[in-house]
A and B are shown apart, each in its own frame.
Chain A
Amino acid sequence: MRQDDADGARQATAAPGSHLPAIELRGISKAFGPVQANKDISIRVMPGTIHGIIGENGAGKSTLMSILYGFYKADAGEIFIGGQKTAIPDSQAAIAAGIGMVFQHFKLVENFTVLENVILGAEDGRLLRPSLAKARAALKSLAEEYELNVDPDAVIEDIGVGQQQRVEILKALYRQADILILDEPTGVLTPPEADHLFRILRNLRAEGKTIILITHKLREIMEITDTVSVMRRGEMTATVKTAETSPEELAELMVGRKVLLRVEKTPAVPGKPVLEVEDLRVTDSSGVERLRGVSLNVRAGEVLGLAGVAGNGQSELLEVLGGMMQATGKVRVNGQPIDLSGPHADGQSRRNAGIAHVPEDRQRKGLIMDYAAWENSVFGYHRDPAIQRGPLMRNAAILDHAETQMQRFDVRPPNPRLAAKNFSGGNQQKVVLAREIERGPDLLLIGQPTRGVDIGAIEFIHQQIIALRDAGKAILLVSVELDEILALSDRIAVIFDGRIMGECAADTASTQELGLMMAGISSGKAA
C-alpha cells in the first residue's frame, strides 16, 4: 500500500523531463568518531541521466550512498527526492522513495532461484505462489524492455557474476525503483559483461530512470555518464558535464595532483631465463584439467604479461608456482628444478627458491585481515631467523621495520598497529607489495595487481613493478585488465582453456589480435 502511495507522489513530481532534480542532497555531513567521511556535500542529479560519482577508495563515496539508502543517518543536511524533502531513516524508506541499490558485493541468497531472490522481502502475502507468478511476468517484461535476460528458475550459485548482477538490478526494478545506485558495478565483470551492463544502463536511461554510478574507473565514467561528480577526502570537489572534461582532468581532481595515466618505462634489457615452465598440468578436485600443458619462460629484467579472460587457468598457474597447488610437469627457477607435488611443494620452499608472490586475492590469501599491518609485513617470511630470538619472535623489531617500510611504500595511514582490514584496497595492496618486493626476489608472481585499487595507488604500484624489472628481476604478471597487460609487459602470452594460445612482443601487439587469442582463436603468428 505504502509503496503505491509513494509511487503516485513521485510520478507527479519527478516525471522524466521535469526540471526538478530526481535527487538533491544539500549540505550532507557525516563523521565517524574523529573521521569526517562526508563534509557538507551538495549534489543535484537530474532525472533520466546517468550521474557518475568518482573518487579514490576512502573518499566518502560509499558513505554518501549509504546515507542515501538509509544505512547511515547523516549528522547534518537534507535529502530531496523529486523536489520533496524526504527522510530516509532505513532502507525500507529508501525503497519506498523509489531508490534501488546494487551493491558491490551482491546480497543474494545463493541457493535460491532468481525468482525467489527477486521476491524476497517483497512478497505479497503468506503464500508464495501468487507472488512468484507475478514476479515471473514482471521479469519477463523487464527482460524484454532492458535486455535484462536471466533464467528466472536458475539457482544463483549456478549462474555467472554478470547474471547475478542483473538479478540485483531486477530486484531494484521489481520494487519500482526510479533511481538506481550502482556501487563499483564492473569490478567483477569481464569486458563483454561490462559492455552488456552498459547497454542495460543506457536502456534504463532511455526509459527515464535515473542512475548513479559509483566507480573509480575513469574509462567507465567517460564512456557512459552524462555528468560526473568528483569526491576527495570526504568533500565534493567538482561536478562537471562529462562531455566537457577529460580523464586527465578528472584524475587530477580525484587525487589532488597531476597523475601519470601511462606507465613510463624504457625498453627491457632481458637477461638469462629465470623461470622455465614445461608442460605444466593441473587437474582440480572435480577431475577437470585446468592447465593442459603450459610452457613458458620469463627472463631476468622483463615483464611477461599473461592475458586471458578470468577462469582460463591463470589463477591455477600462479598457485602452482606459488606453492599452493600441486601439479605435474617441469618448472625450473634459475636453472634449479622446483618440487611440484612432493613435500617441498609449499609456499615456504618457493620463497626460499627466490619466488615472491602477490596473490590475486589479497584479502583472502595475501593478508590476514585481522592481523595488524606489522604482523602482515612478515607474513610468509615469518620463519626468517633474523626476526626470531629463540622460540620467540622479535615483535618490536618487526614493528619498527614495518613502520619504515610503510613510509617507503606510502601506505596510508602509516600506522603499523592498524589491522589490515582497516586499510583501503590500494593501501592493503601496498602492504603486500612492500613485503614481497623488499627481499629482492628473483621472480615476482603478481596477480591482478590493481584490482580494487584507487588511481593514485595504481600509478605507484605500476612504478614499483617496473622498478623491480629494471633491477634485473623477472616478473610474471597476470591480469584480466588488458590495458594493464599492455601498459606493463615486455612480452605478452595469452592463456585460453589451460593452454598458451600464443605469444607476442608487447610493442607490436594489437588489441584485436590479443582479443582473438583470448577467445580461443589461434592467430597465424602464434608460436
Chain B
Amino acid sequence: MERMPKWADVVLIPLISLLLAAVISAIVILAIGEDPINAVQLMVKGALGSTYGWGYTLYYATNFMFTGLAVAVAFHARLFNIGGEGQAMLGGLGVALVCLYLPWPHWSLALIAAALGAGLFGAAWAFLPAILQAKRGSHIVITTIMFNFIAAAFLNYLLVGALKPRGAMDPSTARFPEATNLPSLHDILAPLGIGFSKAAPANIAFLVGVLACVLVWLLIWRTRLGYEIRAFGHSEPAALYAGISPTKITVVTMMISGALAGMMAINNVMGEAERLVLNATEGAGFIGIAVALMGRSHPFGVFLAAILFGFLYQGGAELSLWTNIPRELIIVIQALVILFTGALDNMVRLPLERMFMAFRRMGA
C-alpha cells in the first residue's frame, strides 16, 4: 500500500531537502564573493562549537518550539494561525504582569503562574479571531495577521505609558524581581557536574518547551479532544455528522494554539530579558510557521525543526559578526530551507517514491 518506507518519508526527504537548500545557499555565498566552506565552519562552530553557542541555539529553539507547536496544533484543525507573533507579544504582557505585580517567594511558583498568565493572554488574543471565524466566517488568516499589528500597537502604547517606570528612557517595563529569575542551563547542569556557559540565555524554559512537545503529542493523538480536532480538520461535514461542534473546535483549538504561542514569553521575557521590552518576539511567531511546516505538524518534527532554526539563527549571527556576509543572507538561507522543505516537498518526494517502487519491483 505505502509507496515507500516510513523512515524514508520522515528522515530521508527532509535530509535531501536540507542538502539542496545548503547547496543553493553555498552558490549564493559564492556569488557574493565569500567562501561557503568557511561560512559553514563558522556557523557550526558558532552555534554548536561551544556551550555558549549551544546556549544561544537552544534559547532560540525554545522560542520556535512554542510558536511551532502553536501553528502545528491549529494545522490539525485545518486552521492557519498566522497570529503567533501577536499572541506571543500578549503572552509577554501576561508574564510581565504576573512577575511585576504579584510577590513570588520562589521562581518555580512564579514560572507556573507566569506560564498560566502567558497562556491565558495568548489564548485570549487568539479567541477573538477564532470566534469571528466560527460565527461570522471572517477568515482566520486575515484576522490573525491584523491582530499581530493590533498587538504590536497595544504593547507599544503600554510600554511607553502605563508599564514604563517613571523617569526611564527606554520603552520597557521595570526589571522583574530577583525571585522570578529563572535558572539558566548553567544553573541546572552545574549540580550534575556538567559545565555550561554562564552567559548563554538558554534556561529552564527549554525543558518546559520539551514538555510542551510531549503534551501536544498526547493531546493530538491520545485524547478525545485531539481526535475531534483532527476529524474536524479532515472533514467539516463529517465532524457535523458525528456531532462535533465546528464552533467549539475552532475556538478551543485556536485558544490552545494561542496559549502555546503566548507561553513563548516564559523563555524570551521571563528567562532571558527579565523585563518586557519593545518587540520582544523578534519574529519568532512567523518562524513558527516554517517550523510547523518542516516538522509536518508533528511535535517531534517541530522539536527537530526548532533546533535547526535555532542553529540557523545563532550560526547566522556569528556569520555576520566574523565575516562580510550580511545578516540578511541568513534570511535567504532560512527562506531556502523553508522553500525546499515546505513548498518544494514533491520535487524530492516524487522521484524518491519512484525509486523505491523500482527497487521493490526488482526485489519482487
State the CA gap A371–B234 with chains docked (Å).
Answer: 9
Q: Mark A415-447, 1 if CB is under 8 A from B, else 0.
A: 000100010000000000000000000000000
The residue in chain B whose Cβ has the minimal distance to the Cβ of A357 is B241
Q: Does B237 contact A (CB under 8 A)?
A: yes
Contact partners of B228 in chain A: CB under 8 A: 382
Given A365-B238, A368-B234, A388-B224, A380 and B1 touching (CB < 8 A)? no
Among B228, B235, B238, which residue has the most Cβ atoms of chain A within 10 A?
B238
Given A382-B224, A393-B223, A418-B1, A346 and B245 touching (CB < 8 A)? yes
Q: How far is the CB of A359 from chain B (nearest CB, A)?
A: 6
Given A366-B238, A367-B238, A371-B234, A347 and B364 touching (CB < 8 A)? no
Which residues of A293-346 are within 8 A (CB) of B?
322-324, 346
Q: Does B199 contact A (CB under 8 A)?
A: no
Is A368 a contact partner of B243 (Cβ separation < 8 A)? no
Given A348-B243, A351-B243, A364 and B238 touching (CB < 8 A)? yes
Contact partners of B241 in chain A: CB under 8 A: 322, 324, 347, 357, 359, 365-366, 380
Q: Does B179 contact A (CB under 8 A)?
A: no
Is B224 a contact partner of A347 (Cβ separation < 8 A)? no
Among B227, B230, B364, which residue has the most Cβ atoms of chain A within 10 A?
B227
Q: Does B360 contact A (CB under 8 A)?
A: yes
State the CA gap A35–B235 with chains docked (Å).
Answer: 29
Q: How far is the CB of B244 from chain A (nearest CB, A)?
A: 8
Q: Does A267 contact B (CB under 8 A)?
A: no
Q: Does B357 contact A (CB under 8 A)?
A: yes
Q: Does A31 contact B (CB under 8 A)?
A: yes
State the CA gap A255–B357 with chains docked (Å).
Answer: 31
Q: Mark A453-496, 1 if CB is under 8 A from B, else 0.
A: 00000000000000000000000000000000000000000000
Q: Does A370 contact B (CB under 8 A)?
A: yes
B243's contact among A347, A359, A367, A395, by CB below 8 Å, is which? A347
Q: Does A140 contact B (CB under 8 A)?
A: no
Q: Does B106 contact A (CB under 8 A)?
A: no
Is B222 a contact partner of A395 (Cβ separation < 8 A)? yes
Q: How far is the CB of A443 from chain B (nearest CB, A)?
A: 16
Q: Does B123 contact A (CB under 8 A)?
A: no
Is B242 a contact partner of A380 (Cβ separation < 8 A)? yes
Contact partners of B243 in chain A: CB under 8 A: 323, 346-351, 380
Which residues of B168-184 are within 8 A (CB) of A?
none
Is B222 a contact partner of A379 (Cβ separation < 8 A)? no
The residue in chain B whose Cβ has the minimal distance to the Cβ of A388 is B224
Q: Does B211 contact A (CB under 8 A)?
A: no
Contact partners of B218 in chain A: CB under 8 A: 392
State the CA gap A75–B361 with chains docked (Å).
Answer: 10
Q: Mark A36-56, 1 if CB is under 8 A from B, else 0.
A: 000000000000000000000
Q: How far is the CB of A38 from chain B (nearest CB, A)?
A: 15
State the CA gap A382–B230 with chains docked (Å).
Answer: 13
Q: Does B43 contact A (CB under 8 A)?
A: no
Is B1 a contact partner of A33 (Cβ separation < 8 A)? yes
Is B238 a contact partner of A324 (Cβ separation < 8 A)? no
Is B222 a contact partner of A368 (Cβ separation < 8 A)? no
Q: Does A369 contact B (CB under 8 A)?
A: yes
Given A33-B1, A33-B360, A346-B245, A324 and B224 touching (CB < 8 A)? no
User: Given known contacts A346-B243, A365-B235, what 5 new A-B pairs fall within 8 Å (CB)?
Assistant: A33-B360, A364-B238, A379-B238, A383-B224, A392-B218
Jot down 18 A-B pairs with beta carbons below 8 A, ordered by A: A33-B357, A75-B361, A323-B243, A324-B240, A346-B243, A347-B240, A347-B241, A348-B242, A348-B243, A359-B241, A368-B231, A370-B234, A379-B242, A380-B242, A380-B243, A392-B223, A393-B223, A422-B1
Q: Hey, which bits of chain A sit against chain B, CB under 8 A?
A: 31, 33-35, 75, 322-324, 346-351, 357, 359, 361, 364-371, 375, 379-380, 382-383, 388, 391-393, 395, 418, 422
Q: Hey, which bits of chain B sit against chain A, CB under 8 A?
A: 1, 218, 222-225, 227-228, 230-231, 234-235, 237-238, 240-245, 357, 360-361, 364
Which 6 A/B pairs are nearest by Cβ-Cβ distance? A347-B243, A348-B243, A380-B242, A365-B241, A346-B243, A368-B234
